[in-house]
Chain A
């Protein structure tokens, strides 16, 4: 088990290095000259050169890359020669655009993304798995066909459409909910749990519509498969109660693929729900990444891409490990 974990973590580090290297390389082909951009408009060529040196962009590619990596190991010096500043560990550099410390930017953006993720995941798991299970129990009946039909429709709804329609109806027309504000980052702040919920509710629903539909499908198919297995017939023959049969025998056996999907989706979401954050103006990681990517802000884009890849890989490992706990048939080797 320990060996397995170490091997997976080692592979994770290598993958992250590759991701960072690819992102770094891509930006060498980038459109914008970050030095000119950070210097501002009407900047003399000499000033642009100074900015280039201050940003460290005058150095060869590999030196730049190694300098970036050194910031992940310990503190590093940033800024023009003679006016260097210490950038504390973990140092991800400074934004080319705003000169802000990238680590701070991420620390600022993360709570928004986590708020968005937590609510949406809870909502779509409850709705998706619940309805999928219900449909499986009513296989072939009207309720099942309605749920399956709704799920087919749900997976076909693009997030921008759902998001804008929700805003139009509940904020614009009915006025039941406010537009999302930047002020509420967590349920523990001044606004309290209620304020937090109302602030993120529409964004959660927009995500949950799409994801619930996927979870309905996978839950229903898995449960139907599980319910038709021999041990389920045995459980029925033993005269166990319906609740015990469904939840203790059925769900426990058929839940593995759902946990896999949940883990992978959770990892992907934590890296920033780009579209949802953009539509609802939630200044999380995805929102920050869009701004950085479109303005050629390499340090910010790199940091967020790496963090997103980190979450994806981390949750892959968590899913693998959790198998052993959920499903005794699995032995980690």
Chain B
């Protein structure tokens, strides 16, 4: 169409005998920003995994309420923590919540688990769907391509947030009726399904584009000439060649999903109290206008969210620069 339309890029042969991941790692190690973001990402994941340990060391737990007048003010602003409890202290590392007096550090740590699990699993669902469908569309072409492409168009034209908003409560009520419907499983599972199922289309389009150029290359003819099955062609020949792109998009999808979880829980259709998540904590900060009288309560989940999303975004940028032959900076 135009000069800007994607001209098929022939992937440059990467340095001899080095795997894709090794190349990426080599380039990332050279960038200070990329290394710092990687450290933050690893740190956050560890923080989430070790939440029970850390909270045990602190000596608190995320669900114990404490509304006694020694902790929460009952007089001027009912429910507001007294200054020594509002801010970090040796007893409560990040202070306590207004209203219920629960420990903020414990909620942040357990919330990190919920937020990250949702974001990572949703990304996994999208990546699996997007890669397989995109590869199938590009590889088979013809009718298969047409059907999958039309479905992609449909998903891309759908007002996502609105649809997710109406599906999440439906899914939650359906799941709640099953044997799995206990504890925090239902909201987590429904967010994973909803976010995962609506995030694949963009990746699929990118993968399809890549596969269209891969299909032209000789090794595909070679594999075909000794009668490789379609299945093994897609999984053994085609998909390994799009790993780089998929990795870049997956890294960028994680922060999007972290933000989406926060958004949905903030709107009250995602994770709900008493299960903590960063979005639920934002929701709690807005509910009853607590953020106006206790800004720290808003700051805790906000800072965690921003740091994590920023680190994933920067890491994604670095990965793209390292793996995408088109971006040359």
Report if A15-B153 is in contact (Cβ < 8 Å); known contacts: A160-B282, A274-B165.
Answer: yes
A29 touches B174 (CB 8 A): yes
Contact status B305-A161, CB under 8 Å: yes
Q: How far is the CB of B316 from chain A (nearest CB, A)?
A: 10
A167 to chain B, nearest CB (A): 8
Given contacts A168-B295, A293-B166, contact A156 B157 (CB under 8 A): no
* A257, B18: Cα distance in complex, Å: 35
Stretch of B58-66, B124-132, B215-223, B285-293 with 4 or more beta carbons under 8 angstroms from chain A: B285-293
Is A152 an interface position by the 8 A CB rule?
yes
**Interface residues in A151-171 (C-beta closer than 8 Å to B):** 152-153, 155-161, 164-165, 167-168
Contact check, A290 vs B157: say whether CB atoms are below 8 A apart.
no
In angstroms, how far is the closest chain B Cβ from the Cβ of A290? 6
Shortest C-beta distance, A278 to chain B (Å), equals 6
Is B179 located at the chain interface by the 8 A CB criterion?
A: no
The docked-state distance in angstroms from the alpha carbon of A18 to that of B170 is 20
Q: What 1/0 flags go to A6-35 for Cβ under 8 Å of B?
A: 000000000100110001001101110000
**Across the interface, do B263 and A275 meet the contact criterion of CB distance under 8 Å?**
yes
Question: Which of A31, A167, A327 is most buried by chain B, counting CB atoms within 10 A of its CB?
Answer: A31
Known A-B contacts A18-B154, A160-B282; A329 and B2 likewise in contact (beta carbons under 8 Å): yes
**B3 CB within 8 Å of chain A:** yes
Q: Please report which residues of chain B, range 168-189, place their CB below 8 angstroms from some CB of chain A when the two chains form the complex.
A: 169-170, 172-174
Within 8 A of A (CB), among B1-47: 1-4
Interface size range on B against A = 35 or more
Do residues B157 and A309 form an inter-chain contact, with CB atoms below 8 A? yes
A residues within 8 A CB of B285? 164
Chain B contacts for A327, CB-based, 8 A: 2
> Does any Cβ of A come within 8 Å of B259's Cβ?
yes
A294 in contact with B268 (CB, 8 Å) = yes
The yes or no answer to B267 lying at the interface (CB within 8 A) is: yes
Asked if B266 is at the interface (CB within 8 A of a chain A CB), the reply is yes
Residue from A18, A294, A296 whose CB has the most chain B CB atoms within 10 Å:
A294
Inter-chain CA distance A174–B162, complex, in Å, is 34
B158 interfacial contact with A, CB 8 Å: yes
Residues of B within 8 A of A256 (CB): 2, 4
Task: Known contacts A29-B174, A172-B292; decide if A308 and B268 are in contact (CB<8 Å).
Answer: no
Q: Is B167 an interface residue when CB atoms closer than 8 A count as contact?
A: yes
A309, B159: Cβ atoms closer than 8 Å: yes
> In the complex, what distance in Å separates the CA atom of A8 from the CA atom of B21?
43
Interchain CB contact under 8 A, A275 and B162: no
Which of B139-147, B243-251, B307-315 contacts the other chain?
Answer: B307-315
**Binding site secondary structure of chain B:** helix
- Which residues does chain A contribute within 8 Å of B174, judged by CB atoms? 29, 31
Q: Is B50 in contact with chain A by the CB < 8 A criterion? A: no
Q: Name the distance in Å between B314's Cβ and chain A's nearest Cβ.
A: 6
Contact with B along A289-329 (1 / 0, CB 8 A): 11001101000010011001100110010000000000101
Residue of B nearest to A229 (CB): B3
A330 within 8 Å of B by Cβ?
A: yes
Residues of A near B101 (CB, < 8 A) are none
Give the residues from 235 to 294 in chain A that come closer than 8 angstroms, CB to CB, to chain B.
Answer: 256-257, 268, 271-272, 274-275, 278-279, 286, 289-290, 293-294
Interface size on A, residues (CB 8 A): 49
CB distance from B264 to the nearest CB of A (A): 10
User: Could you tell me the distance in whole angstroms from the C-beta of A291 to the nearest C-beta in chain B?
Assistant: 10
Measured between beta carbons, the chain B residues less than 8 angstroms from A158 are 259, 262-263, 305-306, 309
B104 within 8 A of A: no
- Residues of B within 8 Å of A257, CB to CB, are 4
Smallest CB–CB gap between A257 and chain B, Å? 7
* B162 pairs with A271, CB closer than 8 A: yes
The one of A152, A160, A301 that contacts B262, using a Cβ cutoff of 8 Å: A160
Q: Is B298 an interface residue (CB 8 A)?
A: yes
CA distance A164 to B157 in the complex (A): 29
Interface: B269 (CB within 8 A): yes
B275 at the interface (CB under 8 A from A): no
Q: How far is the CB of B153 from chain A (nearest CB, A)?
A: 7
8 Å CB contact of A330 from B1, B154, B157: B1
Whether A26 touches B166, Cβ cut-off 8 Å, given contacts A164-B286, A279-B286, is: yes
Contact of A272 among B154, B162, B269 (CB under 8 A): B162
Residue of A nearest to B265 (CB): A160
Q: Which of A15, A157, A301, A329 contacts B166 (CB 8 A)?
A: A301
Cβ-defined contact, B292 with A30, below 8 A: no
**CA distance in complex: A234, B163 (Å):** 50
Residue of B nearest to A302 (CB): B166
Whole-angstrom CA separation of A161 from B291 in the bound complex: 11
- Tell me whether B159 and A308 are in contact (CB under 8 A): yes
User: Which of A19, A152, A160, A165 is in CB contact (< 8 Å) with B314?
Assistant: A152
Asked if B255 CB lies within 8 Å of chain A CBs, one says: yes
Interface centre among B2, B4, B161, B166 (most CB of A within 10 A): B166
- Whole-angstrom CA separation of A211 from B327 in the bound complex: 22
The reply on B317 being an interface residue by CB < 8 A is yes
Contacts beyond the supplied A167-B291, A279-B286, A294-B269: 4 A-B pairs with Cβ under 8 Å: A31-B172, A156-B309, A161-B306, A286-B161
Q: What are 28 A-B pairs at a CB distance below 8 A?
A: A19-B154, A19-B157, A23-B166, A31-B170, A31-B173, A155-B313, A156-B309, A158-B263, A158-B306, A160-B266, A160-B286, A164-B282, A164-B286, A164-B302, A167-B292, A168-B291, A168-B292, A168-B295, A271-B162, A274-B162, A274-B267, A275-B266, A286-B161, A293-B269, A294-B169, A304-B162, A305-B162, A309-B158
